[in-house]
Amino acid sequence: MNAASLFDQYAIGNFWFRYLHILAGITWIGLLYYFNFVQVPGLAAYGDEGKARNITVTQIATRALWWFRWASIATLATGLLIVGVLPDYMKDFMNHEGTDAANAKNAAITVGMTLGILMAANVWMIIWKNQKVVIANATNVLSGGEANPDAATSGRRAMLASRQNMIFSVSMLFYMVGAAHYYPEVFEASPGNANTFVMISVVIIAILQLNALGIFGGIKAGNKMLWPYESHKNAIISSIVLWAVLFGASIAIMAVQS
Summarised one tens digit per residue, pLDDT across range 47-72 is 777 888 899 999 999 999 999 999 99
Residue 85 has pLDDT above 80, yes or no: yes
Pairwise CA distance, residues 72 & 161, whole Å: 14
For residue 197, the model assigns a pLDDT of 97
φ/ψ of 8, rounded to 5, equals -80, 180
Widest Cα–Cα separation across the chain? 70
Summarised one tens digit per residue, pLDDT across range 16-27 is 999 999 999 999
Q: How many domains does the chain have?
A: 1
For residue 122, the model assigns a pLDDT of 98
What's the mean pLDDT when you consider all of the chain? 92
Where in the sequence is the domain holding 178, given as residue range(s)? 3-256
Q: Which contiguous run of DSSP H or E holds residue 256?
A: strand 255-256
For residue 11, the model assigns a pLDDT of 85
The mean pLDDT of 72-100, rounded to a whole number, is 78
Alpha helix (H) residue ranges in the chain: 9-11, 17-34, 40-44, 50-56, 62-85, 89-95, 100-122, 128-142, 151-181, 183-186, 191-212, 232-253
